[in-house]
Chains A and B, each alone.
Chain A
Amino acid sequence: MAMSWSGTFEKIAEYKFKIPRHYKPGMRVDGIIYADERLLASIKKDNAPEQVANVAFLPGIVKYSLAMPDIHWGYGFSIGGVCATDPASEGVISPGGVGYDINCGVRMLSTSLTLEDIKDRISKIVDALYQNIPSGVGSKGQIRVSYQEEKRVLLEGARWAVSRGFGIKDDLESCEEYGAIEDADPDSVSERAYERGKPQCGTLGSGNHFLEVQVVEDIFDRSIAEKLGLSIGQITVMIHSGSRGFGYQVCDDSLKMMGKCISKYAINVPDRQLACAPINSPEAKAYIGAMRAAANYAWANRQILMHLTRQSFEKVFSKSWQSFGMNLIYDVAHNIAKFEKHMIDGREKTLCIHRKGATRAFGPGNPALPSKYRDIGQPVIIPGDMGTASYLLVGTNQAEEESFASTCHGAGRLKSRHEALRTISFESLIKELKSKGIEVRATGKKTIVEEAPSAYKDVNEVVEVVHQAGLSKKVCRMRPLCVVKG
């Protein structure tokens, strides 16, 4: 286990703990972690708070280095970290603040099916999904793309997928950035990334990526749930995946390039993994263009995965997916850097918001939201572990004011993968899941054990913190029925 953190926090509000700027010379701002006392105790068990302090070194950082309650130790940035930098004050962009899996994210679909409709067919559904959706390490997609077509994927994201018949135009309205971020630059992407991207478009991947069929088991905000067409007993689907080997290669290429920027631009950071470059530098421009290309790759990927999910349901029910209303509620990115307008001390500024394991949470009225969500706020999708629950939340105006419109992204890891393998047995885990009525299909036993519920923090607790702290608002909780893992 990683060494524990020996620093001390200052409690500045309910659910808010500060690492003061004087904790470490070189910090430009305070660090702030959103948590309750119980979560804080587990957060201190590894060195993640030190990483929150390290991020505070970044030139041009605005207000504070933030971490959400699902924070755990990553590399460079902690997972669950949020940081805003100001391009007008020599602010930097750091590939470590996005991570290797660029635009790892989640999408959630509603259906008009109820638990009653599917309870005898859950095995059939999970088998169909497992057969139809390429998953596992190094899995290969059914869709072959040429070099020219891959370029289109990088520019057009989910829009490309829809143009190829994987879904419908309406899906795009329910995606962050409408399924494709502007100004991606396919020419800033290495040949190797193209090569690694080619076989993997439309694949789930492994590790914590999954596809789940869920049932709504609790509703916290009736009127918003109603607006989203959700009620208790209703079946939903959640898909968690990212930009696959393409994104890893883009991140690695960029870190190599930016490693040189630390000395070139005389930047002082305590960890090499925090390599960064001034936002207006040519190196940053190249990274931003390539990172956006990878983000679009991920949106295309999740769009294809959703299409394959719809097909699988069609097969099981011998009906079109439209007939059981399999509509996309929303798609969020939780590993990304974006330029957004935020109010800082009464003035609007365009800042670079790094979200590394954190979700955008725009509140009601935000002009970036599609009109159908403008009165309720942005849907925020929080996947939990496969034995507990997942949540649908909405963003708030308070999040816009205090956390650069950011909230948590999941349960957050508690045990290392090794520790999970050592302490949890495959047989007892499957038995436990079965007793809860959850069926699992995966390419490897190991992945299932590594992703066991007890390897994660309690998602209920994490979500309660962001809800109580006002960073987002609980709408409903979904319980897993069946899971496809890599």
Chain B
Amino acid sequence: MMEDFEFFEHTADVGVRVTGKTLNELFANSSKALFKLLVDSPLKQNKKREIQLEAQTLEELLVNWLNELLSIFFAEKFLPLEYNIRIEDNPQSKNIRGVILGEEFNPYENKINMEIKAATYHNLRVEHNRDGYTAEVIFDV
């Protein structure tokens, strides 16, 4: 899976521009970018977690996805590493389903790099172009 993202600046916050050939890649790469900000080189994959989310738009689904993972990270101490996910882009509803592999990681015992409060809806974009998908998300830090 291609890993492709770059961070950009925003007065009080941090933004990320992500690409992916498919929606599945785009969502996985977005999460990789988020956890790249939080944790240095994760180690092992010893846990599995199922995930299922639904939203009305792809943008909303992306923010829900990132905030769900952030929330799971802090509440369940689960650090996601690999994504076996499938995004369905239906006209009426968008959903994501799949399994995430990760490791047990206690953010209250181990070092994390920065405080990210949430992925925001602000200036949020998900675009489909010739090469695949691009998204921009701003994190409130």
Q: A-side interface residues toward B, CB under 8 Å?
A: 1-2, 46, 48, 72-76, 79, 99-101, 137-140, 191-192, 195-196, 199-200, 205-207, 245, 248-249, 251-252, 255-256, 259, 271-273, 275, 413, 415-419, 444, 446, 486
Contact = CB atoms under 8 A, between A and B. Distances in A.
A199 B118 contact: no
B18 interface: no
Interface residues on B, range: 20 to 34
B133 interface: no
Contacts of A252: 67, 71, 118
A417 B109 contact: no
Contacts of B76: 195
Contacts of A76: 120-122
Given A75-B121, A192-B75, A417-B14, A100 B112 contact: no
B50 interface: no
B100 interface: no
11 contacts: A2-B9, A2-B10, A75-B122, A100-B118, A101-B117, A138-B115, A140-B109, A192-B71, A251-B118, A256-B64, A418-B14
Contacts, number: 111
A413 B140 CA distance: 14
A256 B132 CA distance: 27
B71 A75 contact: no
A99 B140 CA distance: 9
A72 B9 contact: no
B101 interface: no
Contact of B11 (A73, A271, A273): A73
Contacts of B67: 252, 256
Interface in B73-122: 74-76, 107-109, 111-115, 117-118, 120-122
B141 A272 contact: no
A256 B76 CA distance: 20
Contacts of B59: 272
B139 to A, nearest CB: 9
B117 A248 contact: yes
Contacts of B109: 140
B60 interface: yes
